[in-house]
């Protein structure tokens, strides 16, 4: 039972980190029809900037805020000067954002060096609780709580606020929203900022979770994020969180019980979902 609980918590924590990256991709694709392969770079920049601020100030909370702001600023720059010229052209979007992904990774090496940087869990989140022989690591519970809090906050934003109404209307019919006097470009920028901030938050939280951060981490997690987006359904925010949890749990259990298949588990899971439900678990039929 203790192994089962620990594997489940580990899988949920990993799933929440992937969700924070994948949810931004889902929002950006759902509203803007943009395939942003540079999203992983925002994830990595959030990790580096957040850990640097945390190490400099000693405040983990300041590191989180700094990471989110860094992601948002980079998100604005990316949307205005990189994505905007290639709206409507998926091939150009893929090429230009892949190039940006490589640039962002190399810039991390220029600023912070090519070596891995250690990330320490803050004292109040380190250690574990023990219940009847079952050990529960505090930081994993914290990541799960943050992930679900972000999910609920974005759901509230999308479904209970005026800006959420505009965003959802823009997903269904951009031209109609613009004809009603709404500046759809500002809506695009807002969505991009939210998605980039979530990705940067995920990167920051990953640091103490894994113990180290490195420049190529963005590419590795971006692959997992795209798998989650495909499994959950393109444009489905609820699908992204459910798929992220599924991917996190499958990876955790496979790594423990069948290590040889751990790397292929996510690809196999995606293949099975696409065979029986090509639109994804929560995607609408085309």
Percent of the chain with pLDDT over 90: 47
For residues 152-173, give the mean pLDDT: 82
Q: What is the pLDDT of residue 284?
A: 63
Q: What is the pLDDT of residue 25?
A: 85
- The model's pLDDT over 35-59, given as tens digits with 9 standing for 90+, comes to 888 999 999 999 999 999 999 999 9
For residues 64-89, give the mean pLDDT: 92
* CA 57 – CA 45 distance, rounded (Å): 18
For residues 99-116, give the mean pLDDT: 94
Percent of the chain with pLDDT over 70: 97
Task: Please determine, for residue 77, whether its predicted confidence score (pLDDT) is greater than 60.
Answer: yes
Q: What is the pLDDT of residue 27?
A: 80
Task: Report whether 283 contacts 232 (CB < 8 A).
Answer: yes
The residue among 220 and 44 whose pLDDT is bigger is 44
Q: At what angle are helices 217-232 and 2-32 packed, to 10 degrees?
A: 80
Q: What is the pLDDT of residue 220?
A: 86
Task: Please determine, for residue 32, whether its predicted confidence score (pLDDT) is greater than 90.
Answer: no
* HSE, side-chain direction, 13 A CA sphere, residue 282: 16
Q: Which of 8, 10, 39, 31 is nearest to 228 (CA)?
A: 39
Q: Which of 264, 200, 230 is nearest to 51 (CA)?
A: 200
Q: What is the pLDDT of residue 31?
A: 67
The residue among 18 and 33 whose pLDDT is bigger is 18
Of the chain, the end-to-end C-alpha distance in Å amounts to 43
Q: What is the pLDDT of residue 199?
A: 94
């Amino acid at each position: 039972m203790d192994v089962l609980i620990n594997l489940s918590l580990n899988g949920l924590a990993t799933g929440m980190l992937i969700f924070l990256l994948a949810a931004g991709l889902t929002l950006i694709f759902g509203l803007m029809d943009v395939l942003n392969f540079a999203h992983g770079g925002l994830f990595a920049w959030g990790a580096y900037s957040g850990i640097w601020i945390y190490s400099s100030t000693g405040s983990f909370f300041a590191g989180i805020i700094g990471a989110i702001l860094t992601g948002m600023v980079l998100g604005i720059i990316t949307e205005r000067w990189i994505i905007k010229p290639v709206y409507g052209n998926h091939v150009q979007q893929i090429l230009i954002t892949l190039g940006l992904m490589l640039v962002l990774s190399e810039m991390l090496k220029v600023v912070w060096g090519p070596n891995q940087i250690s990330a320490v869990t803050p004292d109040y989140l380190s250690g574990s609780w023990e219940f009847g022989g079952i050990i529960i690591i505090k930081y994993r519970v914290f990541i799960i709580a943050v992930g679900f809090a972000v999910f609920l906050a974005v759901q509230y934003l999308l479904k209970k606020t005026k800006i959420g109404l505009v965003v959802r209307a823009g997903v269904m019919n951009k031209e109609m929203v613009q004809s009603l006097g709404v500046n759809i470009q500002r809506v695009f920028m807002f969505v991009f900022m939210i998605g980039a901030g979530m990705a940067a938050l995920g990167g920051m939280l990953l640091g103490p979770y894994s113990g180290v951060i490195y420049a190529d981490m963005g590419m590795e997690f971006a692959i997992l994020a795209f798998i989650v987006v495909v499994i959950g359904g393109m444009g489905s925010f609820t699908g992204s969180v459910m798929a992220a949890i599924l991917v996190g749990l499958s990876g955790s259990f496979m790594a423990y019980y069948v290590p040889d298949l751990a790397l292929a588990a996510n690809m196999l899971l995606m293949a099975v979902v696409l065979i029986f439900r090509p639109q994804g678990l929560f995607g609408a039929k085309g």
